[in-house]
Amino acid sequence: MTRYIIRRILWGIALLFIVSAVTFLFFDILPTANPAQLRAGRTSSPQVIAYITHDLGLDKPVYTQFYDYMRGVVLHFNLGYSFYSNASVKSLIAERLPATISLAAGAVVIWLVSGISVGIISAVRRRTLLDRAAMGTALVFISAPEYWLGLIALFLFASDIGKFKILPGAGSYVGFSSDPEKWFTSLILPWLVLAATFAAVYARLLRGSLLEVLDQDYIRTARAKGLSERRVIMRHGVRSAITPIITVLGLDLGTLLGGALLIETVFDIPGVGRLNYDAIVHADFPIVQGTVLLAALFIVLANIFVDISYAYLDPRVRFK
């Protein structure tokens, strides 16, 4: 297991290097706005733009820029400075990351609890009215866009414009350090909206996987031994059927920690996704590079955790 983890970590480091290189290459090849022009303003002279270009290091070859960037990341964890505001990218991300983590963590808890519960009930009660209603509702949530659900939630329950003002502070984000109670109430709607689609996907995925597992011989053997149906389902069935859920969870969680742009925009949450969007609008490459690298790091770590979890969740999996 230790050798396997070390190999996965080394491969993750190599993947982060590749992601950084590809991002650098894309911004060098694709036509984008001139960051020096954006910082200087429309009425600036060519001499001023040339000075800013040299000051930002944009006149260097792309491989030299990439080498300087990676050296700063590896030696000092320095993600560079914003072309637009000259602020430290690391500090900008650190300022926005708590909001994104709060949004992702709460939504994950909700969609795991609801998605797994609905999936198990639908599999056990397959082809019943309850099963059909649950899967039909899941299909509706899968089909509904997140921004549409968010706008509907604000229209109904926002504390300022909502028709039913039952959630004080809903629709206006408040940081945890400012007021923990208002932080919680301000995130209830974003959590529910973000969790809706994921919970529906997980419910359908677990239902299909569990139905397949319940037809296996070892499940019939467990029932023949006289084990209770609850223990057969939870101890033997769900434990084997949940591995696809863990796989998808690793990808989803890593992606969400890189920023949930639509939800952060609809509910005006100052997260990493909004930061990345604003950086793209202003052609602020260091921020884009930093947020892409952060998202890739979260995905790599989540997948390493998923691979390690396999050995404990499924006794058939062994790493050598």
Task: Count CB atoms within 10 A of the CB of residue 4.
Answer: 15
Instruction: With a cut of 60, say whether residue 31 has pLDDT above it.
Output: no
**pLDDT above 90 as % of the chain:** 2
Instruction: With a cut of 80, say whether residue 169 has pLDDT above it.
Output: no
Q: Where is mean pLDDT largest: 39-43, 124-128, 253-257, 278-282? A: 124-128
Tens digit of pLDDT for each residue in 57-75?
777 787 888 888 888 888 8
pLDDT at position 313 is 64
pLDDT at position 29 is 67
Domain 96-313 CATH superfamily: MetI-like (1.10.3720.10)
- What is the arithmetic mean of pLDDT over 207-236? 83
* Better pLDDT: 191 or 244: 191
**Domain spans of the chain?**
2-76, 96-313
- Report the mean per-residue pLDDT for the chain: 81
End-to-end CA distance of the chain: 6
* Better pLDDT: 257 or 286: 286
Q: CB neighbours of 312 closer than 8 A, spacing ≥ 6?
A: none
| Burial (Cβ within 10 Å: 0-12, 13-18, ≥19) of residue 129 | exposed
- What is the arithmetic mean of pLDDT over 118-123? 89
DSSP secondary structure string for all residues of 213-254? HHTSHHHHHHHHTT--HHHIIIIIIIHHHTHHHHHHHHHHHH
Instruction: With a cut of 60, say whether residue 76 has pLDDT above it.
Output: yes
pLDDT at position 54 is 79
Task: Give the position of tokens 């429309």.
Answer: 42
- Least confident interval from 40-44, 79-83, 137-141, 155-159: 40-44
Task: Count CB atoms within 10 A of the CB of residue 116.
Answer: 19
pLDDT at position 47 is 77
Instruction: With a cut of 70, say whether residue 5 has pLDDT above it.
Output: yes
Q: Nearest CA to 141 among 211, 203, 206, 207?
A: 203
Instruction: With a cut of 70, say whether residue 33 has pLDDT above it.
Output: no
- Per the confidence metrics, is the pTM higher than 0.85? no
- What is the arithmetic mean of pLDDT over 218-247? 81
Instruction: With a cut of 60, say whether residue 149 has pLDDT above it.
Output: yes
Residues 187-197 as b or e (16 or more Cβ within 10 Å = b): bbbbbbbbbbb
pLDDT at position 49 is 77
- What is the arithmetic mean of pLDDT over 35-55? 73
Task: Give the position of tokens 């982060």.
Answer: 16
Cα 54 to Cα 52: distance, rounded to the nearest angstrom? 5
- Least confident interval from 96-110, 143-157, 195-209, 302-316: 302-316
- Least confident interval from 116-125, 150-159, 259-268, 303-312: 303-312
Whether the CB-CB separation of 246 and 284 falls below 8 Å is answered with no
- What is the arithmetic mean of pLDDT over 162-184? 75
Q: Nearest CA to 138 among 190, 233, 207?
A: 207
Instruction: With a cut of 60, say whether residue 319 has pLDDT above it.
Output: no
pLDDT at position 298 is 86
Q: CB neighbours of 82 closer than 8 A, spacing ≥ 6?
A: 88, 89, 92, 279, 284, 286, 287
8-state DSSP, 142: H
CA distances, 2 to each of 288, 299, 311 (Å)? 34, 20, 13
pLDDT at position 43 is 63
